[in-house]
Structure 1
Amino acid sequence: MADSAETLVETPLASLHRELGGRMVPFAGYSMPVQYPAGIMAEHLATRAGAALFDVSHMGQAELVGDGAAAALEQLTPADVQILKPNRQKYGLLMTAEGGILDDFMVANLGDRLFLVVNASRKHLDLPAIEAVLPAGVKLNRLEDRALLAFQGPQALALLAPLAPALAALPFMGVASTTIQGIPVLASRSGYTGEDGVEISVAAEQAEALARILLALPGVVPAGLGARDSLRLEAGLCLYGNDIDETTSPVEAALTWTIGKRRRTEWNFRGAERVREELDSGAKRLRVGILPEGRQPARGHTEIAVGGATVGEVTSGGFGPSLNGPCAMGYVAREHAADGTKLDLMVRGKAVPARVAATPFIPHRYAR
């Protein structure tokens, strides 16, 4: 059997990752840095305290061009895309016909087109699904010649301000096209860490130059997939394939806030029947935050029990460096989903006491 490493795709920053000592691992078909020599804990804490740079170029980038693009996209998502103002972005869910989640994604209104970012592991399904519902005159353009960088942390925008005043002026979920030291970029004030920051789309051939500019700013560190995962877990943010997938609905996943008010009257999106039924009658299980007692983390697929009976499963779990303790998310039967409910997490055959807790575990610090 051929070495799977041979088939991994490299991002435009691959040589820079190696130069910086990044430990490369396979992720969603790509070779990605899981950490650098400082380690996951240091990268995580640097993001919370200052600013860190993440390579997220494995994500799928695309644009929808043509009259009726927003209405067409709404066939697949309960998000109200048509209400999205120019230079604004929102989070949404792409749905399956059965009411499960095909993927989560970001959509921005650039005035003359919609800009989409989808997950690396799902783009081979998402983009054909979107293309299949497009009317004549609306076209999906895959942007495979672009990289994506996430510059995250409470100091990120202050550091960027002298280089790109337009980005420092953005509101949360605002989008702007500008330049950083002569490099054209499209950036949104958003991210996946719970901190303030920007995600920057840039031409692939200019990605390394841009990354070097950002890494040269005072105190900025490179950060890998490990820190990205611990940051998003503390922030209570879902990871596709762990916390949401084709079996979970927006109601079960506690993502009903993504369903637009108008969409709740029209019910004309794919999978609406299940969503409507669960909104009316309640879902049988719900995604909750979980805080284990002690220091023992509970990883994904850990059984959740109450009184010796299985009531659910952990979907994401680990040690939260900023929390200075373990945290997790998972699905439990609805009757056990209230904050404060006592649970047992079955870790290596032993019951670890835990309780249901509100997320985020570390407060979001987005620009407001």
Structure 2
Amino acid sequence: MSDEAEVEAEVLEQLPLDAWHRARGARMVGFAGYEMPIQYEGILAEHEWTRQHAGLFDVSHMGQLIVTGEGAAEALEALLPADVSSLKRGRIRYSLLLGEDGGILDDLMVTNVTREGGEPAFYLVVNGATKWDDIGHLREHLPDAITLTYLEDRALLALQGPEAAAVLERVMPGVTGELGFMQSTEYAFEGGHLAIARSGYTGEDGFEISVAAGQAERLAERLCAEAEVKPIGLGARDSLRLEAGLPLYGHDLTPETDPVSAGLEFAISKARRARGGFPGAEHILKLLDEGAPTRRVGLALEGRMAAREGAPVHAGDRQVGTVTSGGFSPTLGHPVAMAYVDAAHASEGTALEVEVRGKRLPARVVPMPFVPHRYHRKGAV
């Protein structure tokens, strides 16, 4: 064998809108197995545009799944800590796919899409980087009577920002008035079928729209024809979700983290805490009762130098944690980060130091989100 090892390049899949992104000047990068647009005009400009107007994100790399069959809610409750059985039609819940030890295999959205008189049906959106593992895990653990379908012929677009609702109402009259945060509906658009959820990953009001892959370009063109809308890349999506204090799977969440340490206790409903029955329930319920030894916290850093994933967090001479996400906040004008730190150093206002390029940068623990959410809440979820 030659001394020169041949490294096979990763074969990246293309999004349904790949040519559309390139025609608009997108710089494409590999992410979650796909060629994704990281930016068009620049991350800072796109971040600020979304905060002020409306940005269109292509998130078609995400996994879109349908779980159907009698007993589907109960079957999902054996794998998730959500109270799926009480989820009303058209309502959405954030939940977690858990391993037997209570570790987080993925975070996801679950929507009750059961039709009137039809068998129970739930729509799941899972992370792109983990979707094949998720599909394998679900197929292994769901009962044979439950059907899992991967919607491989669907694209997913996210329209986010304070002007998103006005734009969508103009393009699809009547669709926004009935929707509050974490609610969904269906809409007939130019002969096609859309599933529209009022949710997103930016902290802003917005919508995620599932559309047939063949109709995605027409929908994107129609939305971007509105003056308030510009296409936005993966770079600004990351800076927006960081300011919103939203964890990114594979970084802030991993199989080694549990929901309590991650600060996601809200994802474990009161009913599920009472009856258990989800993977790792004994361990997780004990952490809820006694507290977790480490906690995911927000950090505000002084100066302009950002702390990135892996940066050590110190209290005096001792390392007490590690940064999992970090960057400069365009909205706040200083760096912010998420980190897991020892519970004794997780209280708001605690002074810490983050090591960046051999320097200790002053930081303090602050509440998340760093920038307040602006979700449109309407009715109970």
**TM-score over 0.5 for the pair:** yes
* Match of residue 203 from structure 1: 212
* Match of residue 217 from structure 1: 226
Is residue 163 of structure 1 aligned with residue 178 of structure 2?
A: no
Any idea what the Cα deviations from partners look like across 1:145-198, whole Å, max 9, x if unmatched?
Answer: 000000000001101112223431211111111033443210100000000010
Identity %: 52
* Match of residue 99 from structure 2: 96
Match of 1:109 among 112, 133, 148: 112
For 1:89 and 1:166, locate their aligned partners in 2 and report how far apart those are by CA, in whole Å: 20
Match of 2:317 among 295, 308, 317: 308
Of 172-181 and 13-22, the range deviating more from structure 2? 172-181
Any idea what the Cα deviations from partners look like across 1:126-147, whole Å, max 9, x if unmatched?
Answer: 1121122222431001100000
What is the CA-CA distance between 1:3 and the residue it aligns to? 5.8
For 1:42 and 1:88, locate their aligned partners in 2 and report how far apart those are by CA, in whole Å: 33
Any idea what the Cα deviations from partners look like across 1:4-48, whole Å, max 9, x if unmatched?
Answer: 25x100010000010011100000111001101x10001000100
Match of 1:25 among 29, 36, 50: 29
Match of 1:53 among 53, 56, 59: 56
* Match of residue 250 from structure 1: 259
For 1:48 and 1:181, locate their aligned partners in 2 and report how far apart those are by CA, in whole Å: 29
Distance 1:3 1:217, change over 3 A: farther
Instruction: Give SS of 1:190's match.
Output: coil
What is the CA-CA distance between 1:122 and the residue it aligns to? 0.7
AA of the residue aligned to 2:192? I
Any idea what the Cα deviations from partners look like across 1:323-348, whole Å, max 9, x if unmatched?
Answer: 12111101000000000000000111
* Match of residue 15 from structure 1: 19
| Uncovered stretches (5+) of structure 2, i.e. residues with no partner | 1-5, 116-120
Match of 1:68 among 67, 71, 86: 71
> 1:303·1:346 contact (CA, 8 Å) conserved in 2?
yes
AA of the residue aligned to 1:39? G
For 1:181 and 1:198, locate their aligned partners in 2 and report how far apart those are by CA, in whole Å: 19
* Match of residue 367 from structure 1: 376
For 1:46 and 1:61, locate their aligned partners in 2 and report how far apart those are by CA, in whole Å: 28
For 2:21 and 2:102, locate their aligned partners in 1 and report how far apart those are by CA, in whole Å: 39
Aligned-pair Cα RMSD in Å: 1.1
For 1:165 and 1:271, locate their aligned partners in 2 and report how far apart those are by CA, in whole Å: 45
> 1:315·1:330 contact (CA, 8 Å) conserved in 2?
yes
* Match of residue 136 from structure 2: 128
> 1:157·1:167 contact (CA, 8 Å) conserved in 2?
no
What is the CA-CA distance between 1:2 and the residue it aligns to? 6.0
TM-score when normalising by structure 1: 0.97
For 1:332 and 1:227, locate their aligned partners in 2 and report how far apart those are by CA, in whole Å: 26
* Match of residue 336 from structure 1: 345
- The correspondence of residues 317-328 of structure 1 with structure 2, limited to 5 A, is 317-328=326-337
* Match of residue 137 from structure 1: 145
For 2:248 and 2:347, locate their aligned partners in 1 and report how far apart those are by CA, in whole Å: 22
Is residue 238 of structure 1 aligned with residue 247 of structure 2?
A: yes
* Match of residue 265 from structure 1: 274
AA of the residue aligned to 2:51? R
> 2:15·2:34 contact (CA, 8 Å) conserved in 1?
yes
- The correspondence of residues 349-368 of structure 1 with structure 2, limited to 5 A, is 349-368=358-377
For 1:294 and 1:17, locate their aligned partners in 2 and report how far apart those are by CA, in whole Å: 35
Of 135-144 and 100-109, the range deviating more from structure 2? 135-144
Instruction: Give SS of 1:214's match.
Output: helix
Instruction: Give SS of 1:212's match.
Output: helix
Instruction: Give SS of 1:122's match.
Output: helix
